[in-house]
Chains A and B, each alone.
Chain A
Amino acid sequence: MTATEESATSLEQTVAGATSSRFSQVFGTLTATMLAVFLLFALVFSPPDVSQRDAVRLFYIHVPSAIVALYLAFGITFVASIMYLRKGTDFWDLLAGSSAEIGVLFCAFMLGTGMLWGKPTWGVYWQWDPRLTSTAISFVLFAGYLAIRRLDLDPTVRSRRAAVLGIIGFLNVIVVRQSVQWWRGLHQGQTLDLVDSQLSGMHYFSFFLGLVSMTMVFGWLLLHRFRVAWLETQADAATLQTALAERQAEAADYTARPPDTGGPTTTETEGI
């Protein structure tokens, strides 16, 4: 077995099962348990709302997924993008990309649950209201961010462009948050406030469980997505090293070959 083959085999062995660790296994089990407890409270123990009745249960899923997507996931992308532009390391680039991927997933979930909630309360699934429109813009911006990360460009150029969009995308999150204050719309105002929250009792507790469990789901997914991205980078680097080594070996083999066993002789080319 050659050195390059050994290197590739070693990488394959590293990759096999490498996105899990003892910590991530325990964390994953805790996350699953927390999700089950949350669903029990959200769907069974929590009482209905006096006006919205059982539709309030969508609040426990919709709002935590919004917080995780917009503030946590896109916030990490924002910070990691700034750090990438400053330091230029793979770590920050991969962290920004991994977090954005999961953020887009949560954002889609948030938009979907919001639409399901809108029908029994507002009477429609969708309206071009300031909050809904700005949230949809955030979703498209970060979907564009992911698309830019897949463009066929020089990796550094691509990562820099993605980082700039990651920063711009997060600035729109501020617009999303303030949209219910700045403009009139169909969407209700701020329910959660550090000083004066509009939730109490079991409603608040169920929401809190939802926020904790969704944050744990995000953390678990981010851990694995980042590890996969990191291993992919390592695999790409190893592939390149292997290819270079193969080319160098071929070239060495070709140049070391005696002249009489190689190309055409002077006599053979004379008639050409």
Chain B
Amino acid sequence: MDELDLTPLDDSSGTPGGRSFRNPLIIGGLLLVLGFMVFQALTSARVFYRNVDEAVAERAELGDETFRLQGTVVTEPTADANGASVFIVSFGGVDAEVRHVGEEPSDLFEIGVPIIAEGHWEGEQFESTQLLVKHSESYVEDNPDRVDYELEETVDR
């Protein structure tokens, strides 16, 4: 005899036309990642750095705690006896001497550029292990020909 096939049809579509995620682990994994990011947002990102004037004022409370120091480079780096780079940064009219012992900063590092140094106070000096260069939101075209032309005009006058 012919049997009536009552097997349910395979509905693998889940959502219009797409395959369904049968395993909620993916959602769980995304929630974990999201939780980690929110934690980072509430800790590292919330107070990303202290300006030089604030860090100098809070030097006693900060002790040897690791934090990020922000200021503008005002002197050329010089190498000390141990090969570390030493330079001065400034912000809010307050200077701080930075002694950098970590990896070389990016090529944008120069006098007049704001930097963020990660490290801690060692007495009066800030011992840095990482140097990040903040770049400006302004962009200026490099047109060497135009500058030369203007210089020629000036010289001619």
Contacts and interface: CB of A to CB of B under 8 A. Distances in A.
Interface of A: 47-53, 56, 59, 90, 94, 119-124, 127-130, 132-134, 136-137, 140-141, 143-144, 147-152, 155, 158, 183-186, 188-191, 198-203, 228-229, 231-233, 235-236, 239, 243, 250-251, 254, 262-263
Contacts of A53: 142
Contacts of A262: 1
Contacts of B125: none
Nearest to B21: A150
Given A50-B141, A199-B139, A121 B4 contact: no
B63 interface: no
15 contacts: A52-B135, A53-B142, A122-B106, A127-B48, A128-B40, A133-B37, A143-B30, A144-B31, A147-B26, A151-B27, A184-B48, A186-B134, A189-B137, A191-B139, A233-B17
- If over half of B's interface residues share one DSSP class (helix, strand or loop), that class is named, otherwise mixed; here it is loop
Of A94, A188, A190, chain B has the most CB atoms within 10 Å of the CB of A188
Given A47-B141, A151-B15, A190-B137, 13 more contacts: A50-B141, A52-B135, A122-B134, A124-B132, A130-B45, A137-B38, A150-B15, A150-B19, A152-B20, A155-B16, A183-B48, A186-B132, A198-B138
Nearest to B51: A184
A24 to B, nearest CB: 19
A51 B136 contact: yes
Contact of A229 (B16, B33, B41, B44): B16
A94 B132 contact: no
Of A119, A133, A251, chain B has the most CB atoms within 10 Å of the CB of A133
Interface residues of B, number: 55
Interface of B: 1-2, 4-5, 9, 13-22, 24, 26-27, 30-31, 33-34, 37-38, 40-41, 44-49, 70, 103, 105-109, 113, 116, 130-143
A191 B139 CA distance: 8
Contacts of A263: 1
Contacts of B17: 228-229, 231-233, 235-236
Nearest to A135: B37
A134 to B, nearest CB: 7
A209 to B, nearest CB: 15
A186 to B, nearest CB: 6
Contacts of B103: 123
Contacts of B135: 51-52, 121-122, 188
Contacts of A251: 4
A152 B109 CA distance: 53
Nearest to A207: B139
